[in-house]
Amino acid sequence: MFLGGSNLALGALQITPDSQNSDLENQMGRVLYKTPFRLWKPGRSTIASFNATFTLNIYPKTNPIGGEGLAFIITSEPDLPGNSNGQWLGIANETTNLSPLNSIVAVEFDTKKSYMDDIDGNHVGVDVDGINSINQLSLAGTGVNLSGGEDVTVNVRYDGVSKSLAFISTDVKGRKISLFLILIILIAILIAVLILVIIGMGIKLRLLIRRIRNLVTGAPPSIGPRNFRYEEIQAGTDNFRTVLGRGGQGTVYKGHLRGKDVAVKRINMERQGAEETFEAEAVISQLYHRNLVKLIGWCTGERESLLVYEYFPKGSLDRILFPSEGCPAAAQELAKLTWAVRRDIITGVASALEYLHDLCQRNSVLHRDVKASNVMLDDHRRARLGDFGLRRILLSGDTHTSTRTAGTPGFIAPECYINGQASRESDVFAFGVFSMEVVCGRVTYDQHEECPYIVDWLWHHHGSGLITSAVDRRLENVDVEEARRVLVLSLACCHTNHRMRPTIRTVLRVLSGEDPVPVVPLVRPPMERFARKFLSSSPSVL
C-alpha cells in the first residue's frame, strides 16, 4: 500500500518521488505492509514477536545536507499525519507528538541532528508516541553512514517475551554492527501494521524488502544511571546554591553536569534512614518509563545521599495550575494547559503508575505520594511523575507497613491512617485526588470553601447532578463527556472502601474508552472514625 509520494520503481520501493524533475523539498511517503496483524490476542499478555530485514539506500539530493531520515513504524493508524514532513519523520506532527493516544512505536534512522536531544546526525533511535527517542545509539565510528548513498542491510527484531528490541546493521562492505536497545513498554494496539517511512527535504531512498519472519531474540540491558563523585555534584550545583524546591525528605537544587542541566535532590541519611535510601536508589536505577522522571545518577555518603534527575524548566504541574501572583510565566503556561493537554497529563501519570505497579521487572513498586507538585512537565507538556523517595518494593504481598503515615494529607487514603499500610489501592486514591486537581483547577484543601477538601467538594457536585460544573472555569472548549468520565472515575478511585477502587490498569482502560465508567454512589460512603479524625487536621507534608 503506497501513500504520499511513494511508488515502485527501478525494482525498489521509492518512498519519495524518484524523478530528476520532482521537487523533493518537504516530501514524505509511506509504504505499508499489506496485511495487518495482531500483536496480541484478547486475554493474553504476551506480545507477538517479529523480525524484519530490509536493505536501504539513502543519498542526499541536495548536498551537503539531505533530508531528515527514515523510520520503521508499528502503528494502528495507517494514514500519514498532516504536516509531518521534515524532522517529524512522518511519525507525528506538532499536535499529536508524544500524545499517549498516538500509539506509535518507531525505529528511526536519523540522518540529521534536528533536536537538542539527538545524539548526532547519523544514529538509530527508538521512539514511542512521537519523535523523541527514549534510547538512541550513534553510528559514528562504525563505518556506516545512513545517507552515504550505499546499501545498508538492516535487521529489526522484537522479542515479545522479554519486551526487547534489537537492531543489527550490515553495510555494503560486509561490516556487521550489532546494536541493542531495550524497549520496556506495553503497546496499546490490538491491530497493527508495519510501516516504512522516509521524509524528504531532498532524500532519495531505494528500499528492498528482503524478508519478514517471526523470530524470538533477547537483548542485554542498556546502560543505566551512573555514580557521581560528591565533588563533581558540589561544583555542578555551585555548592548547592540554587534551590528549586523543598520537601519532607530533602531539598532539590538546580545544577549543570556534563553539559546538561540537572535537578539534584539532597537527602539527609540520618533523617531518612540509610537502609531506606539505599533501597530507593536500587529501585530507581532499574526503572524507565516515558512518564517517569529519569534518574541520571547518584552519590551516597555517610550522612547524605544525592540523587541526580533530569531537569524540567517548566517546573512542577502545581506551580502552573495554581500560579502565584506576579508570576506571568506561570500564567502563560496555564493558558496552554488546554483540556486535551490536561487529559493527556492524567493519562500519562496513570501510565507511569501502571508501570510501577504491574510492568516493571522483578518487583512491584509503590509511589506513595502522587500529587501535582510531584509531576513535572517536559518541553512538550508531557507528564513526568517524580519524587521517588517514598517508593517501596513489594517483594511479596500487596502492602507495605510503616510506623509513620507517608504522603500528604488530602491525598492519603483513609485506611492508611488506621493500619499504616501503603498499597496499590492507596496509590490509586492519591491518583484520584490528583485527577481532581487537574480537571477542577482547585487545590486539595481550600479553607474558604464550604467543603474544604476537594474529594468531599466533588462528591457534593456529583450528588447534586452537577459534576461537570466542577470543571476548571478557566478552561475553554472542554469535551464535557470526557470531563464527566474523568471526574466520576476520580471519585471511584477515592472510594472509602479500598476494595471498591479500580486498579490502575482499569483506570487506563476507562480513560481510553475501552471500559465503562465505574458506578459511583451519589453520597460518599462514610469513613471510619479514626480516618475522619486525621483527615480533619490541617494539611502539611508528613
Q: Which residue has the higher pLDDT, 33 or 541?
A: 33
Counting residues of the chain whose pLDDT is more than 70, the rounded percentage is 69
Least confident of 55-64, 172-181, 212-221, 260-269: 212-221
- Judged against a pLDDT cut of 70, whether residue 232 lies above it is answered with yes
33/102 same-domain check: yes
| From 369, 387, 427, 472, active-site residue | 369
300/207 same-domain check: no
220 within a domain of the structure (yes/no): no
140/22 same-domain check: yes
Domain of 116, in residue numbers = 2-213
Selection from 445, 334, 323, 419 nearest residue 381 by Cα: 334
263/382 same-domain check: no
* Number of independent structural domains in the chain: 3
**307-335 b/e (C-beta count within 10 Å ≥ 16 → b):** bbbbbbebbbbbbbbebeeeeeebeebbe
441 within a domain of the structure (yes/no): yes
498/354 same-domain check: yes
What are the grid coordinates assigned to 42, written together? 484478547
Q: According to the model, what pLDDT value does residue 174 have? A: 47
Neighbours of 160 (CB within 10 A): 17
303/322 same-domain check: no
386/409 same-domain check: yes
Q: Which of 310, 341, 371 is the last residue of a domain?
A: 310
- Beta 260-268 vs 133-138: how paired, if at all? unpaired
523/445 same-domain check: yes
176/95 same-domain check: yes
Q: Which helix (H) or strand (E) holds 455?
A: helix 454-463
Measure the CA–CA gap between 227 and 243, rounded to whole angstroms.
22
405/455 same-domain check: yes
540 within a domain of the structure (yes/no): no
Residue 34: give its domain's CATH number. 2.60.120.200
Q: According to the model, what pLDDT value does residue 438 have? A: 97
Q: Which of 251, 285, 310 is the last residue of a domain?
A: 310
Q: Is 238 a catalytic residue?
A: no
160/254 same-domain check: no
504/437 same-domain check: yes
Give the pLDDT band (50/70/90) at residue 388: low
- Beta 383-385 vs 399-401: how paired, if at all? unpaired
Rounded average pLDDT over 124-146: 80
Q: Could you read off the pLDDT of 302-342 as tens digits, one per residue? A: 678 888 999 999 888 998 999 877 677 777 888 889 999 99
Residue 299: give its domain's CATH number. 3.30.200.20
541 within a domain of the structure (yes/no): no
Q: According to the model, what pLDDT value does residue 278 have? A: 53
